[in-house]
A = this chain, B = another copy of it.
């Protein structure tokens, strides 16, 4: 039988052991997250030391590429769709030291996503925005993150989405600087288009074909360039029947290569646009089968179905008329094609030889670029009616879906 003294000793022993165990437990729990963290950095430095995560970016100044790289920290970018293209897009912007990222997605990570970059098998089951934020925060704690785990195409979420685009900037209340569409379906693209037209928000669209071997990026400046409702969405032809827009019931193929290239071209265009270097591309396609890259630009369509697009066009015209002669960032040469119904203006940057194989179903589109579908002729007559009626978003969406 144990004496009181023996029992007291045992209690003390156990108490000590328990304290040690709890410390170890905490340590084990924290080890991973602690290890992942680096302290925040107040000011970007160009110092060339191994411990400086910004040295190779600040070197862009010394190399004469970017005048003021630090400005990157003042920008907010919204990434809609955190899948194969959007996740890599968010990671690139995070590593470049962007000020703030807003991430929108309602999907969960699945093992079926593992053939694309970014997500890892242990994240299966987590929401994409949650998993992405965790990874990205560890990669660069200097970036601010705001995530929204919802579908932007429902009425309530759409209103919230609009609100965050117009007020979710780095300084709360200010709009974001750029919206990036990295979604994989028509409804979501149209919702982004509708929101950006109403807000006059500049955005970039991206897409990868269902067969995984082509993709594109596109810059949309409301009122100036064609919006997603001005003309049928453009895709890159690859000599095979394909559509950029996901058809229901079809399991699309995907490749980390094509999605990585599209994300890279997209974020490169974002950097050029925000930091003012090089030539910003209006539309850049990628045909992986032949390694060719058709480029073009397209003016807004005065008969666009979206009344906010038409309003932005009027505003753009008025502003252009007001100011004497303003230099545009883009320095491309423009070739006007008057003879097409969409008022499409093209700058072909590919040779005839290059494009031999590409199908050209719509006149005056550079070969190699084609439309995702054609619009029935009777739809054109509806244009005026839409202008007069105050249609709800859902009605508009339903109508657009019919196209």
Task: Verify if A120 is at the interface (C-beta below 8 Å from B).
Answer: yes
Pick from A159-167, A196-204, A259-267, A310-318 the stretch touching chain B. Answer: A259-267
A55-96 vs B: 1/0 string, CB under 8 Å?
A: 111011011110000000000000000000000100110011
> How many angstroms from the CA of A361 to the CA of B28 in the assembled complex?
59
Q: When the two chains form the complex, which single residue of B138, B265, B350 contacts A122, counting CB atoms closer than 8 Å? A: B138
Contact B111 A51 (CB under 8 A): yes
Q: Which residue of B lies closest to A293 (CB)?
A: B293
Contact A268 B264 (CB under 8 A): no
Contact B255 A268 (CB under 8 A): yes
CB distance from A141 to the nearest CB of B (A): 9
Task: Verify if A54 is at the interface (C-beta below 8 Å from B).
Answer: yes
Pick from A19-27, A175-183, A338-346, A395-403 the stretch touching chain B. Answer: A19-27
Q: When the two chains form the complex, which single residue of B50, B117, B139, B291 contacts A112, counting CB atoms closer than 8 Å? A: B50
- CB within 8 Å for A116 and B95 given contacts A111-B38, A277-B289, A351-B351: yes
Contact A59 B18 (CB under 8 A): no
Q: Which residue of B lies closest to A55 (CB)?
A: B112
What number of A residues sit within 8 Å (CB to CB) of B?
A: 100
Task: Verify if A130 is at the interface (C-beta below 8 Å from B).
Answer: no
Contact A7 B11 (CB under 8 A): yes
> How many angstroms from the CA of A299 to the CA of B288 in the assembled complex?
24
Contact B96 A117 (CB under 8 A): no
Task: Verify if A157 is at the interface (C-beta below 8 Å from B).
Answer: no
Task: Verify if A321 is at the interface (C-beta below 8 Å from B).
Answer: no
A241-282 vs B: 1/0 string, CB under 8 Å?
A: 000000000011111111111011101110110000111010
Complex interface: chain B residues within 8 A of A120 (CB): 36, 138-139
CB distance from A36 to the nearest CB of B (A): 4
Task: Verify if A295 is at the interface (C-beta below 8 Å from B).
Answer: yes
Task: Verify if A374 is at the interface (C-beta below 8 Å from B).
Answer: no
CB distance from A60 to the nearest CB of B (A): 5
Task: Verify if A187 is at the interface (C-beta below 8 Å from B).
Answer: no
Complex interface: chain B residues within 8 A of A264 (CB): 256-261, 264
> How many angstroms from the CA of A15 to the CA of B18 in the assembled complex?
9
- CB within 8 Å for A258 and B268 given contacts A25-B21, A52-B111, A114-B95: yes
Task: Verify if A121 is at the interface (C-beta below 8 Å from B).
Answer: yes
Contact A291 B293 (CB under 8 A): yes
Complex interface: chain B residues within 8 A of A256 (CB): 91-92, 95-96, 264, 267
CB distance from A375 to the nearest CB of B (A): 26
Pick from A144-152, A206-214, A221-229, A384-392 the stretch touching chain B. Answer: A206-214
Task: Verify if A140 is at the interface (C-beta below 8 Å from B).
Answer: yes
Task: Verify if A171 is at the interface (C-beta below 8 Å from B).
Answer: no
15 contacts between A and B (CB under 8 A): A52-B112, A54-B115, A57-B255, A59-B252, A63-B210, A63-B253, A95-B115, A95-B116, A95-B256, A120-B139, A256-B267, A257-B265, A268-B291, A292-B293, A293-B293
| Besides A37-B121, A60-B211, 15 other A-B contacts (C-beta < 8 A) | A37-B122, A51-B110, A53-B114, A60-B212, A63-B212, A63-B240, A88-B260, A95-B116, A97-B115, A114-B139, A122-B138, A213-B278, A256-B264, A257-B271, A284-B291
